[in-house]
Structure 1
């Protein structure tokens, strides 16, 4: 992996803005309470190297957005734990509140992700504010702008899906008074800014990144995220047109074997469009997903899985309902079982089923409990194919291009060549719009499990309440009242600390 080289020379720069922000005032006003939108580095951007390091610091922030040992638990607590894919055994960290839909606004993980989001955005805004005064070629400056505008768009896209209306900050915050007016902007305004950022990024980022730049945002990453943003807003034809650039193109390709997507010796492979990158060692840049997600297996079982004995934290455990979905998928084509199951979950020999199954997508031998090699894949080609099929199906019905895109994913799941038609598994030409819609939902669950898509897929398609309430009934213990969610549960609470700090912020419905 080149991520450690990618960060070399910028370790100090990556810390800018992470510390508490002190002022000379003795009052505990807004900025002194650790305002993440302000970074006191006005004199730090004077040459091309300092701008490069600042852009690298923005990339470093992605580790907080997707999960960092000793820091934010990251994206999975919003995107997987509330879904029917996984559950958490841990209550001491209050992760169970995400699992049970019993969240309170003072949950520390809500606050942590909010701070991580706005620190990321602040780093991007600082580059956009300061790099204009540094001597750079126009192409280099616009490439840097494209990179941070992509990162800012990604941060805002995650945030608007978590909280709905959010503060929209697009410039550097230089004073306490500048920070106060930022209340919650309309969702539509947030999406307008996201689209502007991605349009710029798409026009100014390179098609590929190589060498020490491998992992930086590309034109394809901007296109894929743009398509997902349009799809989320139900702009189906626009999404189909955007995603077609990748779904029918040759820049990215499905890996022949599903398991190879996640191998740590095959990172940034042909299928990966963008990932939050990690590298293990002594740099503090490793990922924690290996042990965070593993159940509390014994020494023998954990050693067999990871090559060394580690204690699983049980933060994100495979739900039996997902296993049942895989079992049904294989049963639908008995002679061609769903090969994704073997990578999606495992129970080590000798481990009790009561401990739970483990996703194999994040297996590595860590150097410590929170120092493994696994990247967090944000966008990959199979995701694009299924989004493209969804957009086409909603805009035009189950046309041949939509069926072809889904069939590629299905064929790979059965170990078949993706470009060759196979009547045993392919969806028939007579597939209805409703049937294709249902199959896309299923394929996205099976294909992308534990990659941070399931909950927001259900919300995007308007299916979250029906699917989750049916799941609660299906999995409720005998004699107990099933859990039940409603419209208020589709957004997460604004952190109470932020509302107490800035009274113009308001709370989402249903939270205290």
Structure 2
């Protein structure tokens, strides 16, 4: 494939940011932007409305990064399918290559996620490049900048965890030859840019917004939580603990009393949600496809009983029995199990378990209401406990954080100590480390965290090889499998890009 062919049409928009950005008004939230009115970037950013629409377009990019019908399958193919939580029965889209670590660099899912990542980054860079020419108050301008820098940081954070060294583009590219200048930046440089973006976002984003039309925009708390996760991933444990402490011990966010309520489509952006990629069904193709993507290949009768209408499940993200065994070992009182997995009924039991976190009645096969939760309070509490434990051992604050999550998993009041389930003050660092690994697996299953958690804690190789051994599989992984291959199309079109070890 030639460079010019690669950068034709939509691909030019993706990497250089020379495409179009959408505009809209909205009712549910600010991301409803797939409007017939579309402003070319070469003509926009002349007033405050146009820059607001550009920021909205940057948010819309998240639907590609977390999964969209007709687009990339989303983060779950990297965060869940390679893990011991999940597998896919789908081979036609080559998702099975993520199951058994047989990935080839021409896998189309790699290419689509790469393009979507740099489309999001390009949209953010356009705002940062052109925003200075728009008449705005300094506070408003900085807030817009903070929103897109948060999105850019989140996009690069996913990319660096998937591929390691990636091109670090922080300015708008105006001409095709400019793209040739970007090879794979050192991982430390990518993380340094992520930290700079999140520092700016944290200082310039509001704690909350007024009005429901702004529900879901990045907040100061979202920037702080993501910043803490970035520091934790780099093993900057004390810095991560310090960053996460105000949210872990404060009242900005709170656990939902009932685990299932976190995921209810009539309870979106609840007290536990720190940040989510937002979707809305029935309007201009902005719904999510997770319901049918993760549902078994039910017949008409069974799918109608589950969803209220007949739809075909794809089984892209099927619950592995190894996860069910972990839930069973945790005890019948763990209420998370009922939401995390269920066995199909009747003859369909042979289809395997599926998660109930994304059940909704779609208006079409790929048009449901479910948001993709990126950060939530339980995740933050467990990250905080991990950071404290790795920095200085299991303090009272760390144990308090994880005990809240454990209590909620047993339907107990999270604010009240319970000697029956709480980890005692005598808990050792090693014991807490093991328990945190388990709690994160059970608490956050099918939310895109498991594989990245195992890599972050240096547990991917021993955990996954033990998993394959239990399954009597011949698959084994080694350090080369901890990163995914750079899409071969990118290497063919940009000769200064190199491949990750272990891939052609």
- For the aligned pair, the TM-score class normalised by the smaller chain equals over 0.9
Residue 417 of structure 1 corresponds to 413
Residue 21 of structure 1 corresponds to none
Deviation for aligned residue 1:45 = 1.2
Residue 493 of structure 2 corresponds to 501
2:342 corresponds to 1:364: no
Residue 373 of structure 1 corresponds to 369
CA distance in 1, matches of 2:3, 2:301: 55
Deviation for aligned residue 1:348 = 3.4
CA distance in 2, matches of 1:65, 1:186: 23
- Cα offsets for 1:290-327 (capped at 9, x unmatched): 00001112222222221111110011001111111000
Name the Cα RMSD after superposition.
Answer: 1.2
Local SS of the residue matching 1:275: strand
Deviation for aligned residue 1:482 = 2.2
2:195 corresponds to 1:195: yes
* 8 Å CA contact retained: 1:343, 1:361: yes
2:485 corresponds to 1:484: no
Could you tell which deviates more after superposition, 107-116 or 422-431? Answer: 422-431
CA distance in 1, matches of 2:483, 2:498: 13
* 8 Å CA contact retained: 1:31, 1:179: no
CA distance in 2, matches of 1:460, 1:400: 24
CA distance in 2, matches of 1:244, 1:388: 7
CA distance in 2, matches of 1:216, 1:27: 36
- Cα offsets for 1:35-64 (capped at 9, x unmatched): 422122233211100000000000000000
Relative to the length of structure 2, the TM-score reads 0.93
Deviation for aligned residue 1:27 = 8.4
CA distance in 2, matches of 1:27, 1:60: 27
Residue 4 of structure 2 corresponds to 28
- Cα offsets for 1:216-259 (capped at 9, x unmatched): 00000000000000000000000000011110010000000000
Local SS of the residue matching 2:499: coil
* 8 Å CA contact retained: 2:296, 2:344: no
2:167 corresponds to 1:167: yes
Deviation for aligned residue 1:352 = 3.4
Residue 305 of structure 1 corresponds to 306
Residue 25 of structure 2 corresponds to none
Which of 387, 390, 394 aligns to 2:390? It is: 394
Deviation for aligned residue 1:499 = 0.2
- Cα offsets for 1:5-62 (capped at 9, x unmatched): xxxxxxxxxxxxxxxxxxxxx9836643824221222332111000000000000000
CA distance in 2, matches of 1:143, 1:192: 21
1:44-443 aligned at under 5 Å gives the runs 44-209=44-209, 210-330=211-331, 337-443=333-439
* 8 Å CA contact retained: 1:84, 1:319: yes
Local SS of the residue matching 1:384: helix
CA distance in 2, matches of 1:319, 1:256: 27
* 8 Å CA contact retained: 2:51, 2:127: yes
Point out where structure 2 has 5 or more consecutive residues left out of the alignment: 19-40
- Cα offsets for 1:128-165 (capped at 9, x unmatched): 00111000000000000000000000000000000000
Structure 1 stretches of 4+ moved >4 Å: none
Which of 469, 472, 476 aligns to 2:465? It is: 469
Deviation for aligned residue 1:353 = 2.9
Indicate how the Cα distance of structure 1 residues 267 and 27 shifts in structure 2: closer, same or farther if over 3 A, else same.
Answer: closer
* 8 Å CA contact retained: 2:65, 2:116: yes
Point out where structure 1 has 5 or more consecutive residues left out of the alignment: 1-25, 332-336
Could you tell which deviates more after superposition, 77-86 or 35-44? Answer: 35-44
Local SS of the residue matching 1:352: helix
Length, aligned pairs only: 478
* 8 Å CA contact retained: 1:297, 1:311: yes
Local SS of the residue matching 1:37: helix
* 8 Å CA contact retained: 1:65, 1:74: yes
CA distance in 1, matches of 2:318, 2:303: 15
CA distance in 1, matches of 2:394, 2:454: 20
* 8 Å CA contact retained: 2:344, 2:351: no
CA distance in 1, matches of 2:7, 2:278: 31
* 8 Å CA contact retained: 1:297, 1:351: no
* 8 Å CA contact retained: 2:216, 2:278: yes
Deviation for aligned residue 1:445 = 0.2
Local SS of the residue matching 1:273: strand
* 8 Å CA contact retained: 2:3, 2:494: no
Deviation for aligned residue 1:433 = 0.4
Deviation for aligned residue 1:180 = 0.9
Deviation for aligned residue 1:493 = 0.3
Relative to the length of structure 1, the TM-score reads 0.92
* 8 Å CA contact retained: 2:344, 2:352: no
CA distance in 2, matches of 1:187, 1:510: 18
CA distance in 2, matches of 1:115, 1:96: 21
